[in-house]
Chains A and B, each alone.
Chain A
């Protein structure tokens, strides 16, 4: 069985509202896709995504696996710059290793 990946540009992500962004990600993941966001989600958005995910967990959808590079400090340390975030169905994607600049994961079709 094949696994579909959605690689989403930072421009597309930035054009969406906060809730729209989370809905877009979760709908993609619930369809079985791996969603990779250039630019990534902020910590607050990731927390909201967990909250939204929990309202939709059921027997067929156990939740999500999410990983991302940590944020970087932006200009004058005033702004946090988010980096890549990758989200997939928990029963498909399994993270093996993660550090500041590397995410290793196994994607296995159900």
Chain B
């Protein structure tokens, strides 16, 4: 006769949760200006929190986000049907239920998302004037953008994982991308590369895969919502 295994009781689970509770991981969305970081952050919030909530405004002008913005407590729930529909034959056996619960827990991840300003090594106010801003406004924006870059760098100390967003239509092998990846590797922080804008005709996500073969690269379109499930699954796997 098989010995009956006892599952954890409510009290022990509560005690475990109280004493060994894990902090919610903070996931930073990093990347160069205009890669689509805010669009991705908004997409995540629209999918898992509220369709009408935005973390920030996205625009074609670089450095639109000049302050890091954190959205706490986002529950990434992948809702796999196979996990949600338990096999009725296993009703009396506690073992599959435990497995099922663990499996379901693996499909859920609560995290904080931090939308960061674009990282750059140069900020020229003339670039903003090309978008129609007056000189004074362009200078003010450039000053704010420099502060935003510093803020994004400071945030790296508090980040538990990074989604590094790259524009799949551009050369990925920029020094900024190399520096972010190098810093994350040195800190041992998990990183996912999202090759954004694959909905555009000249997108070439394979260039990003070839440039950084040591990290997972997920081709997505944050704007159109393409391949987002793949990204969420990778996030649930890497940032646990």
Q: Which residues of A contact B (CB under 8 A)?
A: 42-44, 46-47, 50-51, 53-55, 57, 59, 62-68, 70-71, 80, 90-91, 95, 98-99
B139, B142, B156, B179, most chain A CB atoms within 10 A = B179
Q: Mark B124-162, 1 if CB is under 8 A from A, else 0.
A: 110000000000000100100011011001101000000
> CA of A71 to CA of B120 in the docked complex: distance in angstroms?
20
What B residues does A62 contact at CB under 8 A? 122-125
Task: Say yes or no: B150 contacts A43, CB within 8 Å.
Answer: no
Task: Say yes or no: B121 contacts A44, CB within 8 Å.
Answer: no
Top 6 closest A-B pairs, CB basis?
A43-B182, A63-B122, A90-B122, A62-B124, A54-B146, A46-B179
- Count B interface residues, CB 8 Å: 27
Q: How many contacts between A and B, using CB within 8 angstroms?
A: 75
Task: Say yes or no: B124 contacts A43, CB within 8 Å.
Answer: no
Q: Which A residue sits closest to B125, measured CB to CB?
A: A59
User: B178 near A: Cβ within 8 Å?
Assistant: yes
Q: Which B residue sits closest to A56, measured CB to CB?
A: B146
What B residues does A57 contact at CB under 8 A? 122-123, 142, 146
